[in-house]
Structure 1
Amino acid sequence: MKISEIQVSYSTNKLNKIKISNTEDLYSVVLKNWNLNTIELFEEAKIILLNNNNSILGIYNLSKGGVSSTIIDIRLILSIALKTNSSAIILIHNHPSGNLNPSKNDLEITKTTKEACNLLNIKLLDHLIVSKNGYYSFLKEGILTK
């Protein structure tokens, strides 16, 4: 019985990568890569993939959900990070309501993602909750340092 062959590929073609050095720059990059017509319509989750120099390799759209939630699959996050040879990731999602306070589920997914990343020597640099008018940074609020 013949089995399917699995192919994994990765390429980057951008010579001048954007380096992330603070959350304000990160938020600016996120907004430029988000459909602002839907940011208040439904919840989405994305990850930014970074190299060892904190330069952006790319952004990956994880999921689109409803008005109050979306699925964040840690296995998918880690598989994308590994396939792209990322040294670090930043998790991002929006709250269509505009309320930037993290939910209990947001706190739990951040904790679990950080633990999983640590096992694979990938840094979870931040988790941003975004809206058109601002952001909440888990790093800035000290949640990722606990």
Structure 2
Amino acid sequence: MSNIGEVKVSYVFHGSVKDRPIITSSYDVYKIAMMVLDQETVGMQEQFLAIYMNRAHRVIGAKVHFVGGVSSVIVDVKVIAATAVSLMASSVIVCHNHPSGSLQPSPQDIAITDKLKNALRYLDIQLLDHMIVTPEMDWLSFVERGLL
């Protein structure tokens, strides 16, 4: 049996559940994104992060899963879904930056949002929003724009 890989799922949170931030607006998402994104490269490379929440929309955790180039990033839906399941998350918000400063969603941005929404739905996990942020401290919420 020495040739079988060991599976470990771990999550470490220090503190109380009541001390976790609650997401109530796109500005809350923006603040978390700016804490998690690498500020040294936010104006140079696209980064794609996910924020995982419990049923009360309290943040369980946030992670930059993918880093791309100046105008695109490849997103693997399985990674986000697997992380959400591992954390027993009830909902997810995804966010990525546009180094160009444009808030216009690309066709690829819209396509990955639909793909994520459909994949997570089968796991009873809700995709609450997809946000685009810029180095100029602007953001676009897909929900607020009626895109999700």
Question: Under TM normalisation by the shorter chain, which class is it?
Answer: over 0.9
Unaligned runs of 5+ in 2: none
Q: Distance in 2 between matches of 1:39 and 1:67?
A: 10
Pairwise CA RMSD: 1.2
Unaligned runs of 5+ in 1: none
Q: CA deviation at 1:35?
A: 2.6
Q: Distance in 2 between matches of 1:141 and 1:101?
A: 11
Instruction: Say whether the 8 Å CA contact 2:37–2:64 is kept in structure 1.
Output: no
Instruction: Say whether the 8 Å CA contact 2:99–2:135 is kept in structure 1.
Output: no
Look up the equivalent residue of 1:100 and give its one-letter code: L
| Alignment pair present for 1:113 and 2:116 | yes
Q: CA deviation at 1:67?
A: 0.6
Question: For 1:44-72, what per-residue CA distance to the aligned partner results, in whole angstroms no more than 9, with x for missing partners?
Answer: 10101111100111111111111111111
The residue number in structure 2 matching 1:135 is 139
The residue number in structure 2 matching 1:12 is 13
Go from structure 1 to structure 2 and tell me whether the alpha carbon gap of 1:37 and 1:10 turns closer, same or farther (over 3 Å shift): closer
Q: Provide the TM-score with structure 1 as the length reference.
A: 0.93
Select between 105-114 and 8-17 the one with higher mean Cα deviation. Answer: 8-17
Q: Distance in 1 between matches of 2:60 and 2:81?
A: 15
Runs of 4+ in structure 1 over 4 Å off: none
Look up the equivalent residue of 1:48 and give its one-letter code: I
Q: Provide the TM-score with structure 2 as the length reference.
A: 0.92
Q: How many residues align?
A: 144
Instruction: Say whether the 8 Å CA contact 2:48–2:73 is kept in structure 1.
Output: yes
Instruction: Say whether the 8 Å CA contact 2:37–2:47 is kept in structure 1.
Output: no
